[in-house]
A and B are shown apart, each in its own frame.
Chain A
Amino acid sequence: MSLIEFLGNHTYRMVLFGTITIGLVAGALGSFAYLRKQSLISDVISHAALPGTLLAFLTAVVVLGADGRNMIALIIGAVIVGTLAVLFANGITRASKIRIDTAMAVSLTVFFGAGMLLMRIIANGAFPGKGGIQDYLFGNASVITIADLTTSITVGALALTLMLLFWKEFSLRTFDPDHSTVLGFRARTIDTLMFTTIVIATVIGVKAVGLVLMVAFVVTPPAAARQWTRTLPGMVALSGLFGAVGSGVGAYLSIVLGKVPTGPLIVLTLFAIFLVSLLFSPRRSIITRAISRTRARAALKRELLLASTPAEGALR
């Protein structure tokens, strides 16, 4: 299939642009989660997005009498409940001796369990438009509409703007939390704001990619980008680029190959980018490190040999 043919098809275009948007936003904003050493928080968020979207669906249908598949409503619900799940996990560690990994696991299971109960209630009831609700588990990129795409771009741009506006606060809080407190920044406010952007980055992809795989969109591009750059702006930009390119290539391949689901193929593409970065990046990678280690060893050996055998022409 030629590229022109490919782009001529409305569904393909939506899948391509939709996933590229998701990859770009999640990659760029995922950098902060990665540097804060809390990458898996996006796994908690994506699982909590399920009860969030379902609650939004119920509110839209029952209270407002609107269409339950309205993406803006679903995103708002997912962002609110996703943020609650993050606050819950962080709150557990603050209020008790339980550490963050266990707190995240508790938060994830509780919110997802509640989501499963809600899903059952919706499945048993007669609600209009409940048909596509199952897609949130595994995602379905082929149902992205123009309205969805516009919503993703708008919400994603909003999150990226937030990041740029609070760039100084975010980076200080990430690299030097004590200094940022001394300077008078409200740690909790900045944390909440930063996690909100990560929540947005996670939930805009849930409908297309599914909540199980969304974590890969947030974790993999930053991990790959970190191999190539030493600066924060460089890392955020490169990570966004990796996310976008990986998503585009994965989506294209899935359509051209046919029958292969989009989300998993994108994840494997991103993972390939990561592996290449881990092995071959010029400054910090497994191979360059092995080479420099061998060189250093050889140099040391030479020096030791030189020291033990007196140099020619030396005085005796």
Chain B
Amino acid sequence: MSFVLGTTLLAVVTALACALPGVFVVLRKNSMLVDAISHAVLPGIVVGYFFAHNLDSPLLILGAALAGLIVVLGSEWLSRTGLLTGDASQGLIFPALFSGGVILVTLNFANVHLDTHAVLVGDLNLAAWQQLIIGGASWGPVYLYVMLAVLLVNLAFLGLFYAKLKVTTFDAQFATSLGIRSGLLNTAFMFLVSVTVTAAFNAAGAILVIALVVVPAATAYLLSTRLSVMIALTTGIAVAGALAGFWLAYVLDAATSAGMSVFYGLVFGVVLVATRLRQRRNRNVREHAVAASQ
């Protein structure tokens, strides 16, 4: 497999793995929670490294996903105390965790190559550097297979719990009366989001991860009123955006993450304006029809 093809595939698979859970993240009003999770990943990676002493260890991903879960459960607990308003509970937890991570890095691991800048920005080309060689032939970047596994796990989870996720998302009270343990389901789902964000982190950096999770689903949400349609549109937008953003980054010689998030943003903006204009035109047509009939 050529380098460009492998990296392009990595971009597409990463985009898909992030965007699919993103549908439910957007519908459940958890978008900013993904931002919080992605920032909390840093201390998780540091603690994972503390135990593994190896930057490629799966313990790092586990530690980071657990840190993400601390943000989710911690902010949930803070809001349940009823002593905080609005979204403050999230804004309290993740800077504290991130600070702890930065302090740990500077105190103990200054010699380790844990570049906080790379963690924030991310670059697919760097993640694609390590190639999988079997029998002398290249099978594309190793990371492609990691993201492929994450994508499959996400697909399996969403497939198995589709009905339950749907009912807890749209009518939580009804779901409880059906006997669905929505708290447990929510925790499992957010843990999966945490794992996805962590895995994608290496390839995408903190910022693109949020863009990949939230923006395709938000764009699809503008265009659809049915969940199945929204999922299909999200898939399409994620793939198209991955390819175009990747190309944009090459043209501008910039980090892939920046190119992709700006491109996703452009698509979102165009769709927002287009749906606005269509609404206005429909309203005008209706008013004309009413005026003509009178």
- Residues of chain A at the chain B interface (Cβ within 8 Å): 34-40, 42-43, 47, 92, 95-99, 101-102, 104-106, 108-110, 112-117, 120-121, 124, 134, 137-138, 212-213, 215-216, 218-220, 222-223, 226-227, 259-261, 263-265, 267-268, 271, 274, 278, 284-286
A101-B31, A110-B265, A114-B262 known; A213+B87 contact, CB < 8 A: no
B176, CB-defined interface residue at 8 Å: no
Q: Would A35 and B85 count as touching, CB distance under 8 A?
A: yes
For the A-B complex with A40-B87, A102-B29 known, give 6 more contacts whose Cβ atoms are closer than 8 Å. A34-B85, A101-B31, A102-B31, A105-B32, A110-B215, A120-B253
Which residues, 101 to 125 on B, are CB-close (under 8 Å) to A? 102-103, 106-107, 116-117, 120-121
B81, CB-defined interface residue at 8 Å: yes
- Residues of chain B at the chain A interface (Cβ within 8 Å): 26, 29-32, 34-35, 39, 81, 83-88, 90-92, 95-96, 98-100, 102-103, 106-107, 116-117, 120-121, 207-208, 210-211, 214-215, 218, 221-222, 252-255, 257-262, 264-265, 268-269, 272, 275-276
Q: Would A109 and B29 count as touching, CB distance under 8 A?
A: no
Q: Would B272 and A92 count as touching, CB distance under 8 A?
A: yes
Q: 12 interchain pairs (CB within 8 A)?
A: A35-B85, A101-B29, A101-B32, A105-B31, A105-B214, A108-B210, A113-B207, A113-B259, A117-B254, A120-B252, A220-B92, A261-B106
CB neighbours (8 Å) of B117 from chain A are 134, 137-138
Q: Would A99 and B29 count as touching, CB distance under 8 A?
A: yes
Tell me whether chain B's interface is mostly helix, strand or loop, or mixed.
helix
Across the interface, name the chain B residue whose C-beta is closest to A113. Answer: B261
A92-B272, A117-B262, A120-B255 known; A102+B100 contact, CB < 8 A: no
Q: Would A97 and B221 count as touching, CB distance under 8 A?
A: yes
Complex Cα distance, B84 from A137, in Å, reads: 29
Q: Would A37 and B102 count as touching, CB distance under 8 A?
A: no
The smallest beta-carbon distance between A45 and chain B, in angstroms, is 12
A216-B96, A260-B106 known; A113+B211 contact, CB < 8 A: yes
Q: Would B92 and A274 count as touching, CB distance under 8 A?
A: yes
Across the interface, name the chain B residue whose C-beta is closest to A34. Answer: B88
Q: Would A98 and B218 count as touching, CB distance under 8 A?
A: yes
A104-B32, A109-B207 known; A116+B255 contact, CB < 8 A: yes
Across the interface, name the chain B residue whose C-beta is closest to A274. Answer: B92
CB neighbours (8 Å) of A96 from chain B are 222, 272, 275-276
Complex Cα distance, B85 from A34, in Å, reads: 7
Q: Would B255 and A98 count as touching, CB distance under 8 A?
A: no
CB neighbours (8 Å) of A36 from chain B are 86
A110-B262, A112-B261 known; A39+B91 contact, CB < 8 A: yes
CB neighbours (8 Å) of B85 from chain A are 34-35, 37, 226
Complex Cα distance, B210 from A115, in Å, reads: 15
CB neighbours (8 Å) of A271 from chain B are 92, 95-96, 99
Complex Cα distance, B142 from A210, in Å, reads: 34
CB neighbours (8 Å) of A137 from chain B are 117, 120
